[in-house]
Structure 1
């Protein structure tokens, strides 16, 4: 019995000693199973593998040839360094790169470095061709096939399908750092994901971007950020009244001329909401950003708050129809019921995971019902006040006044 205990203790001790240290560089996460099972396809790449999590996935192997063709084009056009110089750089950054992933990456060093090289220079070449179409030849199988570029773009927005932004930037700067004829890497990324060939906003340029999902989150944040919440206990709302309820109370909805999705205002009975284009890519985009927020910005979840707000506004296809008629939503799905289900399904699992419906909210709602919901005018006043409360939590509104 003593030998058995000693063997077990020794085995456990060896496991403890072999544990890798926990790094603050971790920023690329695995999707929890309870989220994944809701919509598997929303969280996995469908065409191209980037990074180690889907490396050598049989469904994604056909794209490897195209990645090599892009790598070849990049090396032929940028002769200052051969492939060996890029490998040397990646070798120097290998440990930091591995530390960015939430699970230990078991790939041997030589395989890991090759993977990072091929995937990184594929992305850089992709961005360069997006920036200047003069580099796209007639045989390009991504840009000359509209559905292909849509799917590749989608896959680069998957949380599990990321490389650290710093590695991509480092390799790009190594190739073009002294060249005045090329934009900086973050401008390339901004152009690729937004279609805007312009200098990236300063607040994004000054941020420590982790990867592309983090970058997209930054692109959607308001220009003026709120003070960071210390805990989710500060959230005292379950959901906003629906579009139908607010409309019956006299609220009018207007599409706001703003590229900032969170730039929502409510003034004198008019709620202005930036136009949102809903496509078959919308669910995957928001799910991955929200999942990243849950893991990395748990107390500073802007996108989760935004989806919570929309989930409250949209309960039925009629709510969607009213927002479409007022230009707030541009529905590319073609079916208002699909849009209503989309926001309900996206937020449902998140609400359960983050326990948004707090005990404090239920007590507060009961008090409102008892003390104020005894005549229609009081109901309207409280709805107005409640909308302001929700938007205050979002911290994206200015000039609050209500038309009671």
Structure 2
């Protein structure tokens, strides 16, 4: 009996464990904001750490971020006063989606969920959300907010937009420092709400919600990078700033290349740099769009989007890659592009070549720094086997392995890499031509004499 009873207890505990595991899996599907694991942070820990402002719970209370808290509270006051709505309306709207906001954060501390913590979480969400909206709007107007803020305001004036906002923009790209765009949508919905008749309420609410979602997506992309493609209307609200910004870089699907002469999988390990490809006769040109999907190889020409490289590029790409690695369903597209660039850029010479072709726009300084950037951020990168860029790699390898292209690459590498080699090649070629000409001039008279002698010998006797 004891054995049977013990077995029953053991079985009950196991079944409870199984049910908890199932529930945990269901909850995890709703997460989309993550703490970056140490194994990923080791590449560059500072690239994942906010410098001036905390957004959301993961860095709330960090000592070095405290000076920005007073500016957050000022932004809340301006936002609520301008909306001419009571603060309670905003709180009620955010509280409606409290569970979804909690679930957005993986490994959220339990203290944010208890009785006292829920109120603190709600207040933090409202303050941070209003602050973010105010910052993006101030930047959109160049700091000229219709006299709403002082001309000498340290954040929301033209001076603040020029000198302080770039640091806030940087911190918005940290994966651990994200706010759900659902939060911003709720705040904007209350801010822009208007009295409606009961008959038209449902249809008008849906229309307003869609327009608000589109406006928020576009506001985020414009703020983070005005040059990138704006999301089309009706695509749905993004998860958070990193998500919607990442998607703006990946518009339009890949133009899947025809891989009719695929190389063996083992040959994929040998990928040549930009200079080596150029020596084999491959030309480079910028694509017609800035989408990271717009990479193709056709008729000896590799076209790819122009890449603007500056001090923000490293942490932007690292945080997007971390999101792709941690979020199921995010895809692998930014990671694949970074790996593609890593293979092309082996040294400063590759950067110089791609810059001369208009593919890399270098605002970092030296070409060596750009090469170091792409080499460092590609550590431990994992690609999807069916990535379209793998097919492009195979096409490049197939082209380079053609005999004529291999011969051309060898000649170029041997004789055209250095000016002295080129001069030696020209001198050797000239000497060869002179030798051939001398030989011709030496041989031709001999053959003429032979032919004349033969003509005399073979002449018919006179009759």
Q: Aligned-pair distance for 1:378?
A: 5.5
Q: Hey, what's the Cα distance between the residues in 2 that align with 1:168 and 1:299?
A: 22
Q: Quick check: 1:94–1:113 contact (8 Å CA) kept in 2?
A: yes
Asked if 1:214 corresponds to 2:243, the answer is yes
Which region of structure 1 is more displaced relative to structure 2, 125-134 or 38-47? 125-134
Q: Aligned-pair distance for 1:379?
A: 7.5
Q: Aligned-pair distance for 1:199?
A: 9.7
Structure 1 residue ranges without an equivalent (≥5) = 228-234, 382-404
Report the 3-state secondary structure (helix = DSSP H, G, I; strand = E; otherwise coil) of the residue aligned with 1:160.
helix
Q: Hey, what's the Cα distance between the residues in 1 that align with 2:154 and 2:15?
A: 52
Q: 2:35 aligns with which of 30, 36, 44?
A: 30
Q: Quick check: 2:255–2:294 contact (8 Å CA) kept in 1?
A: no
Alpha-carbon RMSD across the aligned residues, in angstroms, is 3.8
Asked if 1:117 corresponds to 2:122, the answer is no
The Cα offsets for residues 300-334 of structure 1, whole Å up to 9 and x where unpaired, read as 31111111110110001100011112221111110
Asked if 1:264 corresponds to 2:295, the answer is yes
Q: 1:346 aligns with which of 377, 385, 390?
A: 377
Q: Aligned-pair distance for 1:9?
A: 12
| Mapping 1:306-325, distance limit 5 Å | 306-325=337-356
Asked if 1:165 corresponds to 2:170, the answer is no
Report the 3-state secondary structure (helix = DSSP H, G, I; strand = E; otherwise coil) of the residue aligned with 2:245.
helix
Which region of structure 1 is more displaced relative to structure 2, 174-183 or 260-269? 174-183
Q: Aligned-pair distance for 1:299?
A: 7.6
Q: Quick check: 1:51–1:162 contact (8 Å CA) kept in 2?
A: yes
Q: Aligned-pair distance for 1:140?
A: 2.7
Q: Quick check: 1:153–1:193 contact (8 Å CA) kept in 2?
A: yes
Asked if 1:301 corresponds to 2:317, the answer is no
Q: 2:91 aligns with which of 61, 81, 87?
A: 87
Larger Rg: 2
Q: Hey, what's the Cα distance between the residues in 1 that align with 2:229 and 2:303?
A: 27
Report the 3-state secondary structure (helix = DSSP H, G, I; strand = E; otherwise coil) of the residue aligned with 1:167.
helix
Q: 2:224 aligns with which of 160, 184, 193?
A: 193
Q: Aligned-pair distance for 1:239?
A: 6.9
Q: Hey, what's the Cα distance between the residues in 2 that align with 1:225 and 1:313?
A: 19
Distance 1:41 1:210, change over 3 A: same
The Cα offsets for residues 142-176 of structure 1, whole Å up to 9 and x where unpaired, read as 35243421111111111111111112112112211
- Alignment length, in residue pairs? 361
The Cα offsets for residues 123-153 of structure 1, whole Å up to 9 and x where unpaired, read as 1111222233431642232352434211111
Q: Quick check: 1:53–1:161 contact (8 Å CA) kept in 2?
A: yes
Distance 1:239 1:209, change over 3 A: farther
TM normalised by structure 2 equals 0.68
Q: Hey, what's the Cα distance between the residues in 1 that align with 2:92 and 2:334?
A: 38
What is aligned with 1:400? none
Q: Hey, what's the Cα distance between the residues in 2 that align with 1:17 and 1:289?
A: 33
| Mapping 1:86-165, distance limit 5 Å | 86-106=90-110, 107=112, 108-132=117-141, 133-135=143-145, 137-142=150-155, 144-145=159-160, 146-165=162-181
Q: Quick check: 1:222–1:263 contact (8 Å CA) kept in 2?
A: no
Q: Aligned-pair distance for 1:291?
A: 0.8
Distance 1:283 1:306, change over 3 A: same
More helix by share: 2
Give the ranges of 4+ consecutive aligned residues of structure 1 lying more than 6 Å apart after TM superposition: 7-20, 179-183
> Which fold has the larger relative contact order, with Cα–Cα distance below 8 Å and residues 6 or more apart in sequence?
1
Q: Aligned-pair distance for 1:238?
A: 4.5
Distance 1:355 1:172, change over 3 A: closer
Q: Quick check: 1:156–1:162 contact (8 Å CA) kept in 2?
A: yes
Q: Quick check: 2:55–2:179 contact (8 Å CA) kept in 1?
A: yes
TM normalised by structure 1 equals 0.77
Q: Quick check: 2:230–2:248 contact (8 Å CA) kept in 1?
A: no
Distance 1:94 1:25, change over 3 A: same
Q: Quick check: 2:254–2:294 contact (8 Å CA) kept in 1?
A: no
Q: Hey, what's the Cα distance between the residues in 1 that align with 2:128 and 2:82?
A: 17
Q: Hey, what's the Cα distance between the residues in 1 that align with 2:78 and 2:330?
A: 43
Q: Quick check: 1:257–1:275 contact (8 Å CA) kept in 2?
A: no
What is aligned with 1:282? 313
